[in-house]
Structure 1
Amino acid sequence: MRDAALDALVALGPAAVHHLLPYTRDRRSMSPSSSVRYIIKLLGDEALPRLRAIRREGPGRLRGSALELLVELGGADALDAIDRRAVERLVRIKILDERPVETPAEGGRWLAFPAHRLDDVVNSLGLHDMQPATSVMGVAAATQAADSLEFQDAQGERNRVYRVFITPEFENRRAEGPIKNWRMLWGNSFLDELDGFLLSTELSEHCGEAHFYVLDPYHSSHCWYVARDGDVVRRFGTYADPEFEGTPLPFEAWYKENADEDEVEMYVDGVPDAETAADNLSVAPGRQLAKYTHGHGWLATTHPDVPNTRFKGALPL
């Protein structure tokens, strides 16, 4: 019966939107909110004109849900000029007091590079449409929402474009070496499909130094990789053979010398923990203290023909 009801509602087309939209605001545990959103998404582009009309004409209680679903269905491209400017203004306001900043600490993969080399990173990776973003928004865009899509370029060729997030500048006074301020680049599809290890090596040619880190709790795996001036200096991988490559770095010697009886064996060849390596070399993910956070983050894409507004999915701010 539920399947039949769903089919009937979809068959109603845009006329169903006005009746369904109130249920998207129902926060009760047994509410039909998720089912209603699913139905509206099945309507696809058919629902866009009705959602835009609700944004312009009301009722007021539904305007917020209409905005969210417009972005879910068509990205920011689905918004009219007034709504797009309103969202951009809200992002700028949120950036002003976004402290402290949080980045995922439970798992993920990211690049780290010297903060003052941001322009070199943008040029090296071929990033476009740099847009200011809160860290909540940026992390969601690069790790949870759709962060890649296929498109047809002006020559009729099919290409894949990626969306990435570059964090604010984080100061780490424990970092080994003279560079204390670092930025992180997040983007699951980008790092997976274009190879984060290769990307960090290429970045180091332009920035002097770049790192790649992987925390994979599902496979109980850690990887960390340090490249300088285009060469691999040190790397570790839980399932690599051998696990360590390159000469141990100074921070690893400290852990080996200061290990207690239970840790001696762990640090015989070096530091096997990516988070510990990041904390000593650049910046580790997690909560960043406000006084050591500078500037704001950026969302960017990897092709000039595809701006951020083409990516579908509503993002938290």
Structure 2
Amino acid sequence: MHHHEPSEQRVPEKETMVDAIKALADPDLREAARERLVAWGSGAVGPLLGELLGADSPVLCGQIEFVLAERIGPVAFDEVMAALAAAEDQESRRRLSRVFTAFRAVDRYVDALSHPSAEVRSSAAYGIQCACSVAFGREPNADVDYALVIDALIPLLADPDPGVAQRAEWVLTMLGPGVEERMRDIRVQGPGNLRAQALTVLAAVGGEEALSAADRAAVERLIRIKGRDEPAQSLDTCSTSWIAVPTGDQQGVVELLGLYEARPATFALGLSVGGHDSHDGAEYGRVYVTPEVDGWTLVLGPWSNPVDPDRAEDVLRVVSELSRHYGRAQAYYFGEQGGGSGWLVAEGGTVVRRFGSYWDDDGAQFTVGEPLPEERAACIEEDVVPVGDPGADEDEWRDLAAYLAPTLAGQLGVSPMDLGPHTTVRGVGAVALTPYAREHGRPCTGAYAI
């Protein structure tokens, strides 16, 4: 038997805690720093959140998120939720929401659905989506009572905050067969203030078969009316792929890409389809084509991913073709929660650059062309030797590149993540089937998710 002195719980000096947090950005010091922070437990949560909100480096943000959600875990939940409720600017809310939704603590999210803060309610619903979605043949979460979760989300369909109501609508479309029956009940029995939303959820879950003829006509009408003056909204689907073309010629883009059966779709439905199609397995059979947004048309869906081994060759071909026709064209992939980044930039029919960076593999097989000036500028901003220069550190560049797609998209054109009420919109978006669907059959969400 060894005899151990009882170890004293010491509060670390502030300086050493700050050092440990900063060390998370260094691949060599990272693991030891994590262990120290986990040992400090709940005492480390406040300083970690302070650093998260002040950090300039996306690498450090990603590492702090990992330590809080994956390593310190549920003891940090209440403090993260309080910080999210108190956050005053969009960027702070975005960072805190990412940590909050990474806990996968379904019971806590269900309780948080009635929180006074709309930001917390919306993030709690998204947390439920991340932990419980059965979209794309994903197995149900065995620890979750789906009926209870569905019932907790339903009142949010009439939430006073439109963003929360929208989020609840999307999440309900991803929770499996139990939802359809509950929505049918609401269509028949009310409450009246939920009937319209129940119709949209029903259509998204079961496709057209789930609707009565009258409901089907109502949905088409709803989309046309909503589409006329709907403000743009951020198209951020957790794992987002898109093609970007500097034109308002939606019809021309659709024809050039060989898309067919295009049906009018609001941003909300486009996002719903995009989220569904990229969650846990890629649906290549369908895309959402935006209306003209600040002079650009975006084509959203896994089919557009420039660094997916199954799609890379075809995307290179169609983006080159689009750039021949419209002068320029681009394609991007961005996976939140450390899923990596990829981009493809073409001008006048020629590919200028393609690059991919993932945590689990270097994506080097996709590299075409020299680094873009914007890639080098991102390195300089992060105090990293610019990619392509002598002495550039491959690991540092890959760490940074894994976060870069939305930034580059915004600098080179329009990022779907940045769309919002400030965006100039012309026309109405559409959901369309891709050439892939002709060969491999229609997408698997009923006849059509609107």
Shift of 1:26: 6.2
Is residue 292 from structure 1 mapped to residue 413 from structure 2 by the alignment? no
Is residue 263 from structure 1 mapped to residue 383 from structure 2 by the alignment? yes
Shift of 1:194: 5.4
Q: Distance in 2 between matches of 1:243 and 1:189?
A: 16
Is residue 187 from structure 1 mapped to residue 335 from structure 2 by the alignment? no
| Contact 2:244/2:414 (<8 A) preserved | yes
Shift of 1:106: 5.0
Q: TM-score, normalised by structure 1?
A: 0.62
Q: Distance in 2 between matches of 1:274 and 1:161?
A: 20
2:343 matched residue in structure 1: 224
Counterparts of 1:1-317 in structure 2, within 5 Å, are 58-61=188-191, 64=195, 67=199, 71=203, 74-104=206-236, 106-144=238-276, 162-171=285-294, 181-188=295-302, 191=305, 195-196=311-312, 198-208=314-324, 209-238=328-357, 239-241=362-364, 245-252=368-375, 255=377, 259=380, 262-266=382-386, 272=401, 273-295=404-426, 296-302=428-434, 310-311=446-447
| Contact 2:237/2:271 (<8 A) preserved | no
Relative to structure 1, is the Cα distance of residues 283 and 25 closer, same or farther in structure 2, using a 3 angstrom cutoff?
same
How many residues are paired up?
257
Secondary structure of the residue aligned to 2:319 is helix
Gaps in structure 2 of 5+ consecutive residues? 1-146, 156-171, 390-396
Q: Distance in 2 between matches of 1:81 and 1:276?
A: 45
Q: Distance in 2 between matches of 1:185 and 1:77?
A: 26
User: Comparing both structures, which one devotes a greater share of its residues to strand?
Assistant: 1
2:413 maps to amino acid: S
Relative to structure 1, is the Cα distance of residues 198 and 145 closer, same or farther in structure 2, using a 3 angstrom cutoff?
closer
Q: Distance in 2 between matches of 1:84 and 1:293?
A: 30
Secondary structure of the residue aligned to 2:288 is strand
2:230 maps to amino acid: E
| Contact 1:166/1:299 (<8 A) preserved | yes
Q: Deviations over 1:99-157 (max 9, x none)?
A: 2421107542211122234333212222112112111211211331599xxxxxxxxxx
Shift of 1:308: 11
Q: Deviations over 1:259-287 (max 9, x none)?
A: 35x52415555993222211111212324
| Contact 1:205/1:228 (<8 A) preserved | no
Identity across matched positions, percent: 30
Gaps in structure 1 of 5+ consecutive residues? 1-20, 148-159, 172-180
Q: TM-score, normalised by structure 2?
A: 0.46
**Aligned CA-pair RMSD:** 4.5
Relative to structure 1, is the Cα distance of residues 227 and 285 closer, same or farther in structure 2, using a 3 angstrom cutoff?
same
1:290 maps to amino acid: P
1:263 maps to amino acid: D
1:222 maps to amino acid: S
1:205 maps to amino acid: E
| Contact 1:163/1:190 (<8 A) preserved | no
Secondary structure of the residue aligned to 2:416 is coil
2:346 maps to amino acid: A
1:292 maps to amino acid: T
Q: Distance in 1 between matches of 2:153 and 2:353?
A: 50
Shift of 1:39: 6.5
Greater shift in the superposed pair: 216-225 or 67-76: 67-76
